[in-house]
Amino acid sequence: PYLSDFYSDMKRWSFNLQIYFLHHRFASINSMVANSNRGIVQDRTIYEDAYIFATNLKAMGLMTNRDFINYKSIFDLMESFVKAPDLLIYLRSGIPNLVDQIHKRGRDYESSISIDYLSRLNERYEAWTQTYKKGELLIIDVDNLDFVKNKEDLKTIISKVDDSLSKYSDKKLDDAIKS
């Protein structure tokens, strides 16, 4: 409910938007955990909200320091209740591909997203993935893949995910044997 307002006045709506997303993702993961005895797949994590989006907004001067401190304290509390993902998949994309995907979606409120904003987000994703230690990380470059229209590209991605999950399961089993 905040996206359109946010893209028209980022400074005014940044805190509201980030709190909304943080709450929404926290509630979503809790609901999935409560209602599933199998693996869970989630599109976006609370980590991205805190380490990419909110941090970027603060750095750009679009979120006040007071709001960021408040946001971060809520995130820290919520994070203490959430198990980190066993496997995090990062679909790496360059700016031209991101812009193309945004145009394909055709959402009016996204038409004002600046290249500078996208570039800063991409830089934050790259920095964050270099230091990510909460679980396994799989990085897939998608600039030359069209997994929506091309079944072979989708199979390539599924194969990479399967390989990573297999390695993770083997590592988890080895760790259990060692302890």
More confident residue, 84 or 69: 69
Residues known to be catalytic:
43
Instruction: Tell me the pLDDT band of 172, cut-offs 50, 70 and 90.
Output: low
Asked if residue 171 has pLDDT above 80, the reply is: no
3 state SS for 47-80: HHHHHHHHHHHHHCCCCCHHHHHHHHHHHHHHHC
Mean pLDDT of 126-155: 93
**Rounded mean pLDDT of the chain?**
90
Structure confidence by residue, pLDDT tens digits, 80-127: 999 888 889 999 999 999 999 898 888 888 888 889 999 999 999 999
Residue pair 72/47 in contact (Cβ under 8 Å)? The answer is no
Which tokens belong to 38? 């199998």
Asked if residue 38 has pLDDT above 80, the reply is: no
With the C-alpha atoms ordered 23, 26, 29, 35, is the resulting torsion angle positive or negative?
negative
Spell out the alpha helix ranges (H) of 94-140: 95-105, 115-131
CA neighbor of 25 nearest in space, from 65, 85, 68, 70 = 85
pTM of the model: 0.82
Asked if residue 146 has pLDDT above 70, the reply is: yes
State the helix-helix crossing angle for 115-131 and 95-105, rounded to 10 degrees: 120
More confident residue, 179 or 43: 43
The pLDDT value recorded for residue 174 is 63
Mean pLDDT of 27-54: 88
What is the share, in percent, of the chain residues with pLDDT greater than 90? 65
